[in-house]
Amino acid sequence: MKHYIFAVLITVCGLTATGSLAADNDQAVAARISAQQNAPGRDQYDSVKDASRKPVEVAQFSGVRAGMTVLDITAGAGYSTEILSAAVGPEGLVYAQNPHLILKLIGGRHHHAMVERMSGKRLPNVRYLIVDAEDMPFRDSIDLVNWAFNIHDVYNEGGDAAALKDLQAMKLALKPGGILVVSDHVGVAGNDNEALHRIETATIINLLKQAGFVVEASSDLLANPADDHSQSIFDDDLRYHTDRVLIRARKPN
């Protein structure tokens, strides 16, 4: 039986998605993101992640612009959601999606952190949805999908079929020509990537192509050559500093 949305809007105000993209440039996006990094009410762990996540540079690689409608897949506690909220500006819209599992994962901590992040209408252009990927209501309506540090979990737990199911849901949500940005912790052949919470870059690219996306670019922006790929991403001396891949793909027109 499919699960349907039980929480569509949390602490939001009455904005609607814009149909046209406002004129924008890298400098304006960077300025909004930098300002948001210093905004009150960010999660206590966000600033710890900033240096390795390079939000301004990642946004520029992604091509996010003011006025876009963006979908943040498996948003977790919402680090990327808040960055994307700033990037698209007040005329843009961000949907932060979490699966139902989020309510039970580590006692629901990520879910509660997301709710707290949005309290007091801090992010008025964000809509928080708890819905499994295959049940998302979007059809050819999203400009950009962000899938950060989660494809390894889906693939390692369910193989090609599970990852492709989620990718097909994202493809269905995107407008023709829409952008999908995927990032994750790099794994290498021969290692137990499932136990290490990693995935090979070639596996991600193959999955994207199988799902019908056109892979445009792969970046080493988030690379860390000091990571030898043999440790868990949760090890104390590596946490938040893993070697990561960043890929931009596009739904064909």
Backbone angles phi, psi at 33, to 5 degrees: -65, -45
Q: Which two tokens stand for residue 21?
A: 């993209």
Q: Which of 219, 192, 197 is nearest to 151 (CA)?
A: 197
Element holding 46 (H helix, E strand): helix 46-53
Structure tokens at 5: 């949305």
Alpha helix (H) ranges present in 105-211? 109-117, 151-173, 193-196, 201-210
pLDDT, tens digit (0-9, with 9 covering 90-100), for 58-76? 999 999 999 999 999 999 9
Domains of the chain from N-terminus onward: 26-250 (3.40.50.150)
Q: What are the tens digits of pLDDT across the range 226-236?
A: 999 999 999 99
Q: Is the pLDDT reported for residue 179 higher than 80?
A: yes
State whether residue 200 is helix, strand or coil. strand
- What is the pTM for the complete model shown? 0.88
Q: Which band of pLDDT confidence, cut at 50, 70 and 90, is reported for residue 199? A: very high
